[in-house]
Amino acid sequence: MKKHLKVLLAGAVIAGSILACTAAYARFSDSVTVTNHIAVGDINISLRELEKKDGREMKYQDRRIVLPGDEISKIPRITNHSEPCWVRVKISYTDDLEGLDGLDDRNLTGMSPRWIRKGEYFYYTRKLEQGDSVDIFTGVTVPSQWDESYQDKKLGITIVADAVQAANFAPDFRAMSPWGNQKILRCIHDTDGLVVQKKSPVDLKVKFEGNAHKLIAAPEDFFSGFSTAMPGDVFHDSVEISNTTEHAAEIFFRTSPECKSVKDQEFLKKLKLVITMNHKKLYSGDLLAVSLNKAVSLGEFSSGEKGNMRFEVTVPAELDNLYALRAADVKWIFSVEEDQETLETSSVPRRNDRKEATERASGNNSSSVRTTPVKTGDESPVLLFALMAGMALLTCSLTLWKGGRKN
């Protein structure tokens, strides 16, 4: 009888092992990367007016009475407070002379030969390093031939200065337009310090797509709807997260800054980022987001479920134009983990599924492993193993029956 019991137990173990294959699960994983580009455009030059009095420079005193032949000390000075740049100025003359000849460029004195006139601008042919200053001219001469017809008339000189970053830019001072079609970045703000013009909004989506059975993100740059950032700007948008497959899936999120230099890292640290998922704060800190370099779960999404990930980027109002034209890329990586019922022939115990999910989502694995999911309605392997299990039990029963007859 003991022998028969051993045979029966052996058969049950075999059947159980076969049936265990039909109860195993496969882990499907996929990921998609969105590279966000952000840039700050600004210049930081100052223009102030000085005059010399008794050999000393002081702030220029406006609204003075002048006489024909006077030589007025007037020193408009440009100072560069940021990275190396080229400068140009546009000088215009305002008066109420009503047909009388007024001031023009011939009345300006002390202008360096480094200033050349091209079109309506004076271009300075030497770049200004950080901290450098240059005087546009040092004085104005009132024509001596002016008579009493100019009495009580008002005169004015208006100067507008432009600057362009010197890095990767070389003006052609032989051309009629030495700066060519170079775009001049100016701070165009409303009274609240926000940029007046922005690009059209873009719909942002991350979808675990059922038909393709893969993670899809659109567009390739979630910051593409933002205009060039200026100090004081606040940008915000939201991403729709959805699962259109037939199975529940957990979606993860992490960041990976693409910093080419220490200055890029400093730039990202200046900008502020807030991320919420379904109104729950996920992150608040700088755009470098070191704590988000490891994957965090956005939640488990059932079939057809959607979620909303909202983000806000703030450029501090006190951001100095030391970061003029500074740009950096930040990768946002979304990954998905999905459990699906399939066949498992190995009897070796599986590792903890959540640990594997986190490791793959965090990018710790050198390669992503995909297990082909079982097709719905395809039950032939299950029936085959069930049939094999039944045959094993039948064999055990026949063996037991024959042994009983011999006794």
* d(C-alpha 400, C-alpha 407), whole Å: 11
Report pLDDT for 172. Answer: 93
Q: How high is the pLDDT of residue 34? A: 82
The reported pLDDT for the residue numbered 105 is 92
- For residues 363 and 91, the model is more confident at 91
pLDDT band at 10 (very low <50, low <70, confident <90, very high): very low
Query: Is it the case that residue 289 has pLDDT exceeding 60?
Result: yes
- The string of pLDDT tens digits covering residues 236-262 is 899 999 999 988 999 999 998 877 778
Residue 26's pLDDT is what?
A: 59
**Two domains, one topology: 45-165 and 195-340:** no
In a 10 Å sphere around its CB, with 0-12 CB exposed, 13-18 middle and 19+ buried, how is residue 395 labelled?
middle
Cα–Cα distance measured from residue 218 to residue 104, given in angstroms and rounded to the nearest whole number: 57
pLDDT in tens, 351-368: 444 444 445 445 544 333
pLDDT, averaged across the chain: 74
Is the pLDDT assigned to residue 195 strictly greater than 60? Answer: no
The pLDDT of residue 304 is 92
Structure token digits, residue 221: 């740059």
- Classify 9 as helix, strand or coil: helix
Q: What is the pLDDT of residue 310?
A: 94
**What does the pLDDT look like over 139-176, one tens digit per residue?**
999 888 887 777 777 778 889 998 877 766 789 999 99
Mean pLDDT of 285-290: 88
118 band by pLDDT with thresholds 50, 70 and 90: very high
On whether the CB atoms of residues 94 and 82 are closer than 8 A, the answer is no
Q: Which carries the bigger pLDDT value, residue 91 or residue 403?
A: 91
192 pLDDT above the threshold of 70: no
Q: Quick: pLDDT tens for 314-343.
A: 988 677 656 655 778 888 999 998 876 544
Q: Given this model, what pLDDT does residue 204 score?
A: 75
* Integer Cα distance of 82 and 128 in angstroms: 9
- Domain 195-340, architecture per CATH: Sandwich (2.60)
Ranges 55-69, 70-84, 140-154, 362-376, most confident = 70-84
Q: What residue ranges do the domains of the chain occupy? A: 1-24+342-407, 45-165, 195-340
Buried b (16+ CB within 10 A) or exposed e, 191-200: eeeebeeeee
Q: In CATH, which of 1.10.490, 2.60.40, 3.90.1570, 1.10.3470 is domain 45-165?
A: 2.60.40
Residue 197 has pLDDT above 90, yes or no: no
Which of 35-39, 104-108, 193-197 is the most confident on average? 104-108
What pLDDT, on the 0 to 100 scale, is given for residue 224? 77
Look up residue 275 and give its two tokens: 């991320």
Detail the DSSP E strand segments found in 23-171: 25-40, 45-53, 56-59, 71-73, 75-80, 85-95, 108-109, 115-118, 121-124, 133-135, 139-141, 155-165
Euclidean distance between CA atoms 261 and 355, whole angstroms: 33
Which amino acid is it at 281? K
Contact present, 16 and 347 (Cβ < 8 Å)? no
